[in-house]
Amino acid sequence: MIDLHTHSIFSDGELIPAEMAQRAHYAGYKAIAITDHADHSNYDFIIPRLIKGCLKITEKGKIKVLPGIELTHVDPRDIADLADEARKLGAKIIIVHGETLVEPVPAGTNKSALQADIDILAHPGLITEEEVKMAASRGIYLEITTRKGHSLSNGHVAGLARKFKAQIVLDNDAHAPTDFVSKEMARKIAQGAGMAAEEITAMFANSQNLLKKVCT
């Protein structure tokens, strides 16, 4: 299992990166990305510290941990510039907090995110057909999430991704060790979103491919 969307105490997670990684390893995960919530006020604080911590954890060989960031509730007009700055600072995985059904994310976030240099659009809610086409053409992954609330639109996301051949990854959006679901449960959540067995297999492979891409 791979989870490319997790949070530590550098935003609203419960654990420091080392313990987050150890708990994920214990739960059977081979790799995670720590992608703490960020805006203009803290991205330049978070990323260098995650780089240092992730490197130390990864070099021990038990689990690969990538430094990332999740741009969250920022004005859509700022997403592209923030993503570029995060990439320059060394973020390996850049996520944008999409227009989930359960939070007042600024309208236009999904579209602006898909025009920027990002890797994953997280929990994109009632994403439009136009936006899914953009994701497909730009190679940006859409997220199926195991997280309560955000997962309400999983079926909608999966259906449009199938229709327009957009790529999907499954993430836990883990904030605590109990958020790391088993592969069996991940499959069930994907099935609940209407995904077929071959689509689920491809979804897991997408996480591996993205991991490989950002590590080369």
Cα distances (angstroms) measured from residue 70 to each of 7, 36, 50, 118: 9, 6, 13, 10
Kindly report, residue by residue over 173-190, the tens digit of the pLDDT. 999 999 999 999 999 999
Kindly report, residue by residue over 119-135, the tens digit of the pLDDT. 999 999 999 999 999 99
Q: How far apart are CA 190 and CA 166, in angstroms?
A: 15
| Helices H / strands E in the chain, number of each | 8, 8
Kindly report, residue by residue over 3-50, the tens digit of the pLDDT. 999 999 999 999 999 999 999 999 999 999 999 999 999 999 999 999
Kindly report, residue by residue over 41-95, the tens digit of the pLDDT. 999 999 999 999 999 999 999 999 999 999 999 999 999 999 999 999 999 999 9
DSSP symbols for 56-102: HHHTTSS-EEEEEEEE-S--GGGHHHHHHHHHHHT-SEEEEE---TT
pLDDT surpassing 90 at residue 195? yes
pLDDT surpassing 90 at residue 216? no
pLDDT at 32: 98
pLDDT at 88: 98
Please give the domain boundaries of the chain with CATH numbers for all domains.
2-215 (3.20.20.140)
Strand partners for 64:
31
